[in-house]
Copies of this chain bind each other. A is one copy, B any other.
Amino acid sequence: MLSEYLLAEMSRLGARDALPLHRQLYEALRRAMLDGKLGAGERLPSSRDLAQDLKLSRNTVVAAINQLSVEGYLASRVGSGTYVNDSVPRTTPGRGARQAGGQPATVQAGRLSARGKALSASFCATELEVQPFTPGIADFSAFPLTLWQRLQNKHWRLTYPDMLDYNDSGGYAPLRRAVADYLRVFRSVQLDADQVVITTGTQQSLELCARLLADHGDTVWVEDPAYWGAVKAFMATGLSLHPVPVDEEGINPRSADNAKPPRLVYVTPSHQYPTGAVMSLPRRHQLLATARAHDAWVLEDDYDSEYRFSGPPISCLEGLDTDGRVLYMGTFSKVLYPGLKIGYLVVPRPLVAAFKQAHYDLNRPGQMPVQAALAEFIEMGHFASALRRARLNYGERRQCLLEALRPVLRDTQEGPYISGAEQGLHLCLRLPQSVDDRALAQRIATQHGLTVRPLSAYCLARKDLRGLVIGYGYAPLAEIKRCGPLVAAAVRQALGGAAA
């Protein structure tokens, strides 16, 4: 009866997983013990008998029994054979349920911690479907893949010894130099290469800042409406979020906000996400003065700074900082290729050593061959020319989307008007408060299969904003020409309904 059970189990296992025979037998015997077919203290048939019954070689049987003995399931008594160990547990009722693919009976399903529940709650920004107007997605079809592969192959070969050298955890030195040169020239960031820490992107940069510069329960000022990725990073690091409203000049702290003094202030001055507001110079100075008054750190996410369509690029907040309280961050994922997973964080000199140490310990940075390939890619000028090409390309798409939306724009304070089209890869079509933007976005998704985002879904405390966040980075021109008018028509319909 035991041998029948074992044969049945083995054939089931063999069919499913193509296990070697000794491993099939091992699993079958283990199961027999857990299921109680072989009870504690029971004597196992001799290896010779088992081999005969199961039509296996004796070596196979011995291999299985040896492993079970090593693991403590079986115990040998000299001269009297092999016994099931007393400590082998019987299967609890939960086990059967689990094997049948159901939920274990003895554990409460999905027993998350309180923060776990908050962190795994789904927000609008994560229902990411790649469609013509999905915000936050760029077009990577022009990425010079062959060149990239050549560089990457070369550095996979070359960097072997460096790769093992985790010591300098700011990242691959030539990449840090290349990033520093780029930021100094194009973004007026004032820095040495040593201040650059290579990360896997903005999420990692934000968490590092939150952990090293703020304690659990400290207040962080965030823009309202906000970039959800940042909100989650601050939630995950135990900070207390204080939303500060954004207007057309960027974040605009009210005097009441000073009652919640910040330890950190997080801003997206180049192209506020999602309204697209560019922070004005007076506002920049005001923000730095406020941060100074509170002795707070400023986290500058220079998101989308690469694509400015009207006028020359605007210098970063870091460049105006007179006392080293701005931490500046960016990413290559939107500019080159999302699979790269490389971003950078510029930290004030007094913090460099602490950031490098903690980054190594917490994040075990790596990917040296990719970092090396990217360094050479930038040094050879390919990054600059990719940017130039992309700017022309996205500029056309932006123009095309603007034209499609023009018919619905009205010359009122309330909207519809467009914000944030000077820069970046998305714009925001602002709507009157009477429009239900969530319902409108839902209707556009259902009727046309297009993903646009309701502006109100990004709001934290405020209730006054309505609009659609529309990306133009991903879709080819022809798609924008085809789909733009569909969105415009849906908006017109919603406006009619709202007016009625």
- Give A residues with C-beta under 8 Å from B: 17-19, 23, 27, 30, 63, 66-67, 70-73, 85, 87-89, 91-92, 94-95, 98-99, 101, 103-107, 109-117, 119-123, 126, 128-130, 137, 140-141, 145, 148-149, 152-153, 156-157, 159-160, 163-167, 181, 184-185, 188, 190, 192, 200-201, 203-204, 207, 211-216, 218, 228-229, 232-233, 236, 238, 263, 280-282, 285, 292, 295, 311-315, 320, 322-325, 333, 337-341, 348-351, 353-355, 357-358, 360-364, 366-370, 474
CA of A380 to CA of B159, assembled, Å: 26
Partner of A236, one of B109, B263, B362: B362
Q: A87-B285, A111-B295 are in contact. List 9 more A-B contacts (CB 8 A).
A: A88-B281, A88-B285, A89-B322, A103-B350, A104-B322, A106-B322, A120-B353, A120-B358, A141-B160
Query: In the complex the two chains form, is B358's CB within 8 Å of A116's CB?
Result: yes
Task: Count identical subunits in the complex.
Answer: 2
Hey, which chain B residues are within 8 Å of A129, CB to CB? 167
The reply to whether B360 and A110 contact each other, CB–CB distance below 8 Å, is no
Nearest Cβ on chain B to A311's Cβ, whole angstroms = 4
Contacting residue for A113 out of B123, B212, B285, CB 8 A = B212
Cα distance A255–B121 when bound, in Å?
A: 38
| Given known contacts A103-B349, A281-B73, A116 and B211 CB-to-CB distance under 8 angstroms | yes
In whole angstroms, what is the CA distance A364 to B130 when docked?
A: 15
Complex: chain B residue closest to A27, CB-CB = B188
Contact between chains at B72 and A280 (CB < 8 Å): yes
Nearest B residue to A341, CB-CB: B366
**Contact: B17 with A95, CB < 8 Å?**
no
Interface pair B63/A229, CB less than 8 Å apart: no
The answer to whether B263 and A113 have CB atoms under 8 Å apart is yes
Other-chain contact of A94, B112, B126, B322 (Cβ < 8 Å):
B322
23 contacts between A and B (CB under 8 A): A72-B282, A92-B322, A92-B323, A94-B323, A98-B323, A104-B348, A104-B350, A110-B353, A111-B295, A113-B214, A119-B211, A119-B362, A120-B212, A120-B353, A122-B357, A126-B360, A137-B164, A145-B157, A164-B338, A200-B200, A200-B366, A203-B363, A216-B216
In the complex, A364→B229 CA distance in Å?
Answer: 9
Query: Is B119 a contact of A85 with CB atoms below 8 Å?
Result: no
Q: A233 contacts which chain B residues (CB < 8 A)?
A: 362
Q: Are B215 and A98 in contact (CB under 8 A)?
A: no
Q: Would you call B238 and A116 a contact (CB within 8 A)? A: no
With the chains together, A115 CA to B348 CA distance in Å?
19
Q: Which of A192, A285, A358 has the most CB of B within 10 A?
A: A358
A71 partner residues in chain B, CB cutoff 8 A = 281, 314-315
Residues of B with C-beta under 8 A to A192: 101
Cα(A128)–Cα(B166), bound, Å: 7
